[in-house]
Amino acid sequence: MIKPDYLKKGDLIGLVSPSAPLAGLVPHRVEKAVEALNLMGFNVKIGKNALMVDDYVAGDPKRRAEDINNFFKDPKIKAIISFIGGNHSNQILDYLNFELIKNNPKIFLGYSDVTVLHFALLTQCDLVSFYGPSGLNQFAENPKILTYTEKYFKKALMQVAPIGKIYPSSEYTEEILNWFNEEDLKRGRKMLVNTGWEWIKEGCAEGSIVGGCISSIIHLRGTRFWPNFKNTIFFWEIPEGDSLEKGESLANIDSYLMDLKLSGVFDGIKGMIIGRPFAYTKQEIDKLKKIIQEYFKEYNIPILFNVDIGHSDPMITVPLGIRVRIDSDKKIFEFLESGTKYYEE
């Protein structure tokens, strides 16, 4: 795996819109994201096409890809962060210059639909990229980025030592405030007590961590961007459904898990981590766990559930392709190596 240079204060970060056009529709969130990154000590450059709006996408796929290619080419840019996900990052894959990217490795960060791009960078460039906070969501949080999210962002990107042990957050939120009428400027989101992790299946395993948003993962089945999941710790998490205030239906999650099983994903993995379900009732969570138990009754692997990854907040930042260990006896989820490296000034 190729590791990008670590991030330090004073570095220039590029912001891009690989899929949805929200950055062009909610300018106050863009301003808040830039302000948050500035307060953390970074300089910011917005991609020339990142604020475009074309119905449900941020403009022509060639232009969305152009911003990413240009930022990888630009030696002044040290990290690239997605403004937000969506459902159409797959449209830009044919326009990404993977040779250019491989020869100019740098931090690439985002989650949800950005899963598609993470898998592409993994399979085409052997590049460690980072599943974590996005510009409009986490960095533009009111009044500021959540402390837990910021802590693990810095652990993953601003040091070369391994992240080390992960600990559950003490609280979380899945509240949606309407950005279009600027409800998010009136108050912060309501936080709930986090019950912590749960081991659906016990055991100990070590491997490279690979995964993302489950519906986005399915986009790539049968393509050249499909990773080799053998000997990995596979993680997945659940996005919003048809309503932004509810998670994707259990019926869809059930079908995605069967898609993964039929694709042979479960045959070679060493363990599995599942992010905190987004906006599910207790009954839905209980049913989800039963569905998972049914799929994995024949697999002897540890399964860790309700981790701070995904569409509720706060979240950790996950360097993809990096060795991790999970151990139910010791209650450990631990990153064993760094996702970044030092560079010469």
Q: Which domains does the chain have, with CATH numbers?
A: 12-160 (3.40.50.10740), 165-335 (3.50.30.60)
Residue 339 to residue 273: CA distance in whole angstroms:
19
Question: Residue 6 and residue 199: Cα distance in Å, rounded?
Answer: 33
Q: Of 184, 193, 228, 224, whose CA–CA distance to 210 is shortest?
A: 228
Tokens of 337: 């190596």
User: Cα(299)–Cα(304) distance, rounded to whole angstroms?
Assistant: 14
Q: Measure the CA–CA gap between 172 and 146, rounded to whole angstroms.
A: 10
Residue 327's SS3 state is: strand
User: Of 309, 282, 297, 285, nearest to 201 (Cα)?
Assistant: 297
Rounded Cα gap, residues 234 and 271, in angstroms: 6
Dihedral, CA of residue 18, residue 24, residue 27 and residue 30, to nearest 10: 10
Scan for tokens 């891009």, then name that residue: 16
Q: From the CA atom positions of the chain, what is the Rg in Å?
A: 19
3-class DSSP state for residue 214?
helix
Contact indicator for 120, 144 with CB cutoff of 8 Å: no
Q: What is the DSSP letter of 322?
A: -
Opening angle at CA 77, ends 162 and 135, nearest 5: 75
* Dihedral sign, Cα of residue 251, residue 18, residue 108, residue 177: negative
Question: Whole-angstrom distance between the N-terminal and C-terminal Cα of the chain?
Answer: 22
pLDDT in tens, 246-301: 999 999 999 999 999 999 999 999 999 999 999 999 999 999 999 999 999 999 99
User: Which positions of the chain have pLDDT values less than 70?
Assistant: 343-345
**What is the reported pLDDT for 342?**
83
- Asked if omega into 4 is within 30° of 0 (cis), the reply is no
A 10 A CB-CB count for 189 gives 17
Considering only the C-alpha atoms of the chain, give the largest distance between any 2 of them, rounded to a whole number of Å: 54
What's the pLDDT at 224? 98
Mean of the per-residue pLDDT values for the chain? 97
Q: What is the pLDDT of residue 205?
A: 98
Residue 344, pLDDT score? 56
- pTM (predicted TM-score): 0.97
Task: Give the pLDDT of residue 42.
Answer: 98
Given a contact cutoff of 8 angstroms between Cβ atoms, the answer to whether 9 and 41 are in contact is: yes
